[in-house]
Amino acid sequence: MPGPIVHLIVQQRLASRLRRVEKANHAPPTLSNLLAADPCSPYAGFGSMGPDFLFFSMREYGSAIGDLTNFIFKAYDALEPFIEFYEEHIEPVIDAVEDALTALDQALFNGIFTDLSNLASAISTTALTAIGSVITSNVDLFYAFYPKVQAGAPENDWYWFDFLHYRRTGQFCSRMWDLAGGDDDLKRYVLGYASHIGTDVVGHPFVNSVVGGPYRMHWKRHKLVENWIDAYARNYYPDSAKTKGCLNLTSDDTYVPNAINGSYYYRLCAFPDEKLPEKLGNMILQAMDDVYGGMAHPVTFSFDDLDDTYRLWLMWFERATSFGSMHPPTPVPPPGSATAALVTDYVSGLPSFPGSGGGGGGGGGFSILAIFAAILAFVEWLIDLVTYTIEWIITHTVDIFLLPITEALALLKWLIYQIHKGIYQIYDNLRWTLVLGGYFFPEPQDLAKEPWRRALLNTSFVSLTGGGSANFCIYPHKQVNHNVTSVEHHLTYPTTPVELPYAEPMPKELFGTYPHVFIDGGIAFNPVAEGLYDVKGPYTPGFYATPSQPTNCMSPTSVDFAWTHDLDAATWNSTQFGSALDFSARLILARIEKMPNFNLDGDRGYAWHTWRATDPKDIEANNPVPVEESYDLS
């Protein structure tokens, strides 16, 4: 993380940016040529996922990842008939109705709408049951992924997903580079992996600033914000002709140029037969053993463990990027005056609209649970509306047949539009609850919705959904008190106390900006900040002897810049490493053979290396959270 879309956007642009950096440094174009020689390499694409695919490890997460993915897949299955509804049912019904009217065939007419009624009722109630049951059950399917580091568990009980973000991250990448040898496929994988490191180091501080703290304390809100940043980036950055060519689109694909759903980006990471190549799996396993074999680490993986994890991840990513969207209804004008009495009769019998629920944006009365309840009540009303409309048409068959054919057609097309609109709104409202729950990526139309389009993308507006406001120096916030039944805490900015000492969330110049700035915003980097590659530890020795003050996120405590906090404090008012794409290219060219061990969660402060609390078992309860003085973790 950041999410898979941002990582692929960076990876797809990496060869050209790497070439620019090579030229600026008078280096041969060896690495850029390697990537350019196979621009569609799934090794490079999947490499850019870094360790994130391990979130789908059945070996470690067991029933938790099974419950989560099963729900997501069932939600896709429940919504799939809606996507087919227009082409398979609305268009044919319009044609069939015209034929029935022309032939004066009332039996055919009634049969058409009876079939439509049965179908609409079936798909609507199925979707409402499948999705509404989880949304209203007060069960947070993400709670089971509580990071073991925050739970105070020993490191051999951690998940590899977390471990590879927190321990010897650069060393692991560089060891894979050594093991890749002369295999160009494997080298492309490692270059993609290195771009993941660069994008995490720059991107996670941005994500965390909108979230209010790092993944280990706010993992569900972290996922939600990353989903929105992915949707924003997909909408902002168009595919190049090269990238589009790599998607191998066919006439059966419903490619959407600005949406994740319809991007087919899974194909950038799909190996033949959608299986993990044996040589790649063996390289990863060997690097795990070489780098982590002498220290406490999570459960030892086999090749089958890696392959199973890759397949489950790819199955999810394929559904997320190729599912499609329902065709929105095209407005139809009301029929003419000859149908006025029938229209009045139709309108007079409409089901009563449900009472208003939920609350507005901002603090005070804002209630996400009430919004969910209101959405589901609206969906139930829409189902009643669609059912009523179809039944009204069937009941008034004789009256419709007595109208002039042009008037009858106009009335029916308007009523069919009401049906289509109702079905579409059922689909869109259920989909929207899944977006707010963090289960689905937002669609382009969601990026226009207030307050979410700003509150989940820009630190200046985080308070719009309730909770607190983002203050550059008042960071990071402790975990919100929640449990497995807390399903709405992730939608508001935390107001919890700060985990001390105070830290810099991200470069000050990025505060109050939108995600494209950190991805590839054309921002200059500060060469002084590159001293962060080789710092000795997080703080000057003896730092904890002085009570921490809010100004500590800005004021250095030493002048030799050998410590992350001090170098951060001296460069926070610049853009520090610059954009994710530029930094990834510079990092790869300079350090692919000896990558710094950056903490990939952007945890505690900007560009911290992998760190350990001095009292890890009580990391959640302690405040301040003292950390070991050296980054040299055994």
Give 90-110 pLDDT, tens digit per residue: 888 887 888 878 777 788 788
261 in a domain, yes or no?
yes
24 in a domain, yes or no?
yes
- Both 259 and 282 in one domain: the answer is yes
Query: What percentage of the chain reaches a pLDDT higher than 70?
Result: 94
Q: Residue 586 pairs with which residues in a beta bridge?
A: none
Cα separation, 344 vs 472, whole angstroms: 58
- Both 181 and 223 in one domain: the answer is yes
Count the domains in the chain: 2
Coil/strand/helix, residue 294: coil
pLDDT value, residue 483: 82
Give 220-246 pLDDT, tens digit per residue: 999 999 999 999 999 999 999 999 999
Q: Is 567 exposed, middle or buried (0-12, 13-18, 19+ CB in 10 A)?
A: buried
Cα separation, 412 vs 94, whole angstroms: 8
- Both 191 and 288 in one domain: the answer is yes
452 in a domain, yes or no?
no
- Both 194 and 304 in one domain: the answer is yes
pLDDT value, residue 6: 98
Cα separation, 518 vs 10, whole angstroms: 11
420 in a domain, yes or no?
yes
- Both 308 and 373 in one domain: the answer is no
Give 429-478 pLDDT, tens digit per residue: 999 999 999 999 999 999 999 999 999 999 999 999 989 999 998 999 99
Give me the torsion for CA of 83, 86, 87, 89, rounded to 10°.
110
**For the chain, how big is the Rg over CA atoms in Å?**
27
Q: How confident is the model at residue 120 (pLDDT cuts 50, 70, 90)?
A: confident
- Both 122 and 234 in one domain: the answer is no
175 in a domain, yes or no?
yes
Residue 606 predicted with pLDDT over 70: yes
- Both 315 and 206 in one domain: the answer is yes
3-state SS, 464-520, equals HHCECCCCCCCCCECCCCCCCCCCCHHHCECCCCECCCCCCCCCHHHCCCCCHHHHH
Q: Residue 540 pairs with which residues in a beta bridge?
A: none
Give 327-364 pLDDT, tens digit per residue: 899 999 999 999 999 999 999 999 998 864 433 444 34
pLDDT value, residue 355: 63
Give 122-145 pLDDT, tens digit per residue: 888 888 888 877 766 777 899 999
- Both 313 and 341 in one domain: the answer is no
pLDDT value, residue 356: 44
Give 154-192 pLDDT, tens digit per residue: 999 999 999 999 999 999 999 999 999 999 999 999 999
- Both 316 and 339 in one domain: the answer is no
Give 61-82 pLDDT, tens digit per residue: 999 999 999 999 999 999 999 9
Nearest to 268 by CA among 592, 14, 4: 4
Nearest to 540 by CA among 580, 570, 505: 570
Averaged pLDDT, 589-601: 98
- Average pLDDT for the chain: 91
Residue 494 predicted with pLDDT over 90: yes
- C-alpha distances out from residue 555 to 134, 261, 544, 570, Å: 47, 45, 15, 7
pTM metric for this prediction: 0.94
Cα separation, 234 vs 142, whole angstroms: 25
148 in a domain, yes or no?
no
For 50, the token pair is 């870094």
488 in a domain, yes or no?
no
Nearest to 424 by CA among 116, 81, 132: 81
- Both 46 and 170 in one domain: the answer is yes
pLDDT value, residue 358: 39
Residue 119 predicted with pLDDT over 90: no
pLDDT value, residue 396: 94
pLDDT value, residue 551: 54
- Both 129 and 238 in one domain: the answer is no
Residue written as token pair 């079905």: 423
- Both 371 and 296 in one domain: the answer is no
16 in a domain, yes or no?
yes
Residue 365 predicted with pLDDT over 60: no
**Residue 347 sits in which domain range?**
74-142+335-442
pLDDT value, residue 232: 98
pLDDT value, residue 58: 95
pLDDT value, residue 583: 98
